[in-house]
Amino acid sequence: MANRDRSPALRRALSQYLRANAQACDTAAGIARWWMPPGLDVGESEMLPLLEELRGRGLLTKFSTLDGHWLYRRQCVDTASDRELEQMTRDWNELH
């Protein structure tokens, strides 16, 4: 399956993880490795565009650690962001 074809599945998996683990925080590599469901092998380079998309939508924030690593986490945990994350999952389910 081509990377662009996997975007909806990755978006769905990430939105589900973020709703279930609202305080989670990790690097793009860690998110690709640990937040995705078993069997969905994802690399950092495939995960970065999705993380930046969610950051652009105000759902994620990105910050640097003292050792220079970039971490991602939910921008805020509230009803509006939960609703938007839920919509991402619902949109994908309706397409498939």
CATH of the domain at 27: 1.10.10.10
Residue 23 in contact with residue 81, Cβ under 8 Å?
no
pLDDT at residue 88 above 90? Answer: no
How many folded domains does the chain comprise?
Answer: 1
pLDDT at residue 7 above 90? Answer: no
Structural domain for 73, as ranges: 3-95
pLDDT at residue 1 above 50? Answer: no
pLDDT at residue 15, as a whole number: 93
Q: CA–CA separation, 9 vs 83, rounded Å? A: 18
More confident residue, 89 or 21: 21
Kindly report the backbone phi and psi dihedral angles of residue 23, in degrees, each rounded to the nearest multiple of 5, phi listed first: -100, 5
Q: CA–CA separation, 23 vs 7, rounded Å? A: 23
Residue 81 in contact with residue 40, Cβ under 8 Å?
no
More confident residue, 4 or 69: 69
Q: CA–CA separation, 49 vs 80, rounded Å? A: 23
CA distances from residue 85 to 39, 79, 81 in whole angstroms, order as listed: 22, 10, 6
